[in-house]
Amino acid sequence: MTAPTASTTATTTTTTHRTARAAGALPLVGHVPALFRHPLPFLRSLADQGDLVELRLGPQRAMMVCTPDLFHHVLTDTRHFDKGGPLFDKLRWFLGDGLGSTPHDVHRRQRRQLQPAFRPEAFTRYLPVMLEEVTATAAGWADGRVIAVEDHAYRLIARIITRTMFSADRSSTAVARIAAVYPDFHHGIGRQMRSPSRLFDRLPTRANRRFRQACRTVNEVVDGAIEGRRRGDGGDHDLLTLMVGEGLTDREMRDQIVTMLTGGIGTSASALGWALHFLSLDEELADAVAREARAILPARLRQAVPGSATPAGAIPAGVTLADVTRLDLARRVVAETLRFYPSAWFYSRTVTEPVELAGEHLRPGTAVLLSPYLLHHRPDLYPDPERFDVDRWSPARAAELPRRAYVPFGTGSRKCIGDVYSLTELTLAVAVITSRWRLEPPPGPLPAHLVEPRPWTVIHPAPLRLRLRSRP
């Protein structure tokens, strides 16, 4: 990037990029119908039109980034691009000033404060909780039962994240309350983001009432946990204790916790749902994942029943973080799932100072749109991108991928702080569940591969119902 002077705008690089205006804009509304009704096909079509493609969101101009180098540039040039844009602005009303929503100067301070909770040494405390919850979930299912996969994934991930933040045990009322209301909470946020007006959000519909009740429950649990920690109740090493030690106010702590719940549960739950869906379509792959898991993880993780959990702080049956890294095939299933349907599939930045991007002069306030889904489905970056192929992540093939082409957690200083946490819990969940259960698409009118992706805040696998078959 050429350094700007006082009299010029900043530029990107000397690389030649194609710029274009997206086809199909409608009078008054522009590309809004295409983006909201059929977002995934629409996004896939943009890379063929240019490297930086201008969209119209009603009267507003927005620029869609379509190449890895421009994607990386926007997310790392924090002087000229910062959090903002049409979707982000609709979300911030609820998240407040959490890590995912603050401007760069505030974010940098917050990230330094919270980073110790996501360092490698912290995972020796998180791993027992992850294993305990995944094992209890898998042990609570019954042979031949058909389950709504994403509902179970929501509850599982909600319990893991809530427990690691609050140092709660499995019987905690707070954990149970968050797990119970989280689907309504997450779906409600998605509706709010897609709603054309806050007026619709205030209507007394059943969905809006359930969302408001879920918000009240989340706030009550979070405020109660903060109050308890101020009194000295709870654990010594969780996220709440860290924030108290950093001197955060109650409002700052609330915003951070709600951000972690919002950003951490729905993303991992949808990814787990998709991973189990893809495994249900490939029996040979699922069997291989099960064999690997059984060779590395002890048998008690497959045989445990609810109520026989390992005491807090003890990793079950000697499982270590090194064991998790040996779950190579489960890890590759997760990596390919996050390529195919990245949880953070679409977000935005806003231009804060005049800047030149790919030859286009952008004024302050211009929205810049980014989609990991778009990059992950470019056939020039990922051959046959609509095929689920875990072998893309074998060492030899992964080394051949273009630089910066895989961005499920973003990049730069605002890369997801919980990326390793999420990969760990997802890898364990895939391994433990698959080692115990063979999941099959139940008979029905639609072919199993036509499970509908529903892009809201995340790309939901809905409807997704699978039949459980116990492995001998």
Give the tens place of pLDDT for each residue, 12-62.
455 789 999 999 999 999 998 998 889 999 999 999 999 999 999 888 999
Same domain (yes/no): 401, 272? no
Task: Indicate whether 93 belongs to any domain.
Answer: no
Q: Containing domain of residue 399, as a range?
A: 1-79+345-407
Same domain (yes/no): 361, 430? no
Give the tens place of pLDDT for each residue, 89-131.
666 666 667 777 777 888 888 888 888 888 888 888 899 899 9
Same domain (yes/no): 151, 116? yes
Long-range contacts of 339-342 (CB under 8 A, 24+ apart): 339/376, 339/382, 339/392, 339/406, 339/408, 340/274, 340/278, 340/376, 340/388, 341/270, 341/271, 341/274, 341/373, 341/453, 341/459, 341/461, 342/372, 342/373, 342/376, 342/407, 342/408, 342/459
Return the pLDDT at 449.
55
Give the tens place of pLDDT for each residue, 339-392.
999 999 998 999 999 999 999 999 999 999 999 999 999 999 999 999 999 999
Return the pLDDT at 303.
55
Same domain (yes/no): 444, 303? yes
- Residue predicted with more confidence, 259 or 357: 357
Give the tens place of pLDDT for each residue, 290-306.
999 999 987 656 554 44
Same domain (yes/no): 51, 141? no
- For the ranges 35-39, 232-236, 369-373, 399-403, which has the lowest average pLDDT? 232-236
Beta strands in 340-390 (DSSP E): 347-351, 355-357, 360-362, 367-370
- Residue predicted with more confidence, 230 or 20: 20
Q: Are 358 and 52 in contact (CB under 8 A)?
A: yes
Same domain (yes/no): 123, 188? yes
Same domain (yes/no): 129, 259? yes
pTM above 0.85, yes or no: yes
Return the pLDDT at 9.
41
Is the pLDDT at 448 greater than 60? The verdict is no
Structure tokens at 424: 């760990």
Task: Indicate whether 124 belongs to any domain.
Answer: yes
Is residue 19 classed as helix, strand or coil in its secondary structure?
Answer: strand
- The total of structural domains in the chain comes to 2
Task: Indicate whether 94 belongs to any domain.
Answer: no
Same domain (yes/no): 328, 450? yes
What is the CATH classification number for the domain harbouring 151? 1.10.630.10
Same domain (yes/no): 330, 459? yes
Share of the chain above pLDDT 90, in %: 49
Is the pLDDT at 332 greater than 70? The verdict is yes
CA 472 to CA 455: how far, in whole Å? 37
Same domain (yes/no): 310, 185? yes
The residues, ordered by sequence, that sit 6+ positions from 388 with a Cβ below 8 Å of its Cβ are 278, 281, 282, 336, 337, 340
Same domain (yes/no): 158, 141? yes
Same domain (yes/no): 207, 283? yes
Task: Indicate whether 58 belongs to any domain.
Answer: yes
Among residues 364, 383, 407, the one where a domain terminates is 407
Return the pLDDT at 314.
42
Return the pLDDT at 263.
84
Closest-CA residue to 176 (of 164, 188, 189, 158): 158
Give the tens place of pLDDT for each residue, 180-222.
888 888 778 777 766 655 666 677 788 889 988 988 998 899 8
Alpha helix positions (H), 115-237: 123-139, 149-166, 173-194, 198-201, 206-230
Task: Indicate whether 85 belongs to any domain.
Answer: no
- Residue predicted with more confidence, 134 or 5: 134
Closest-CA residue to 146 (of 433, 438, 466, 463): 466
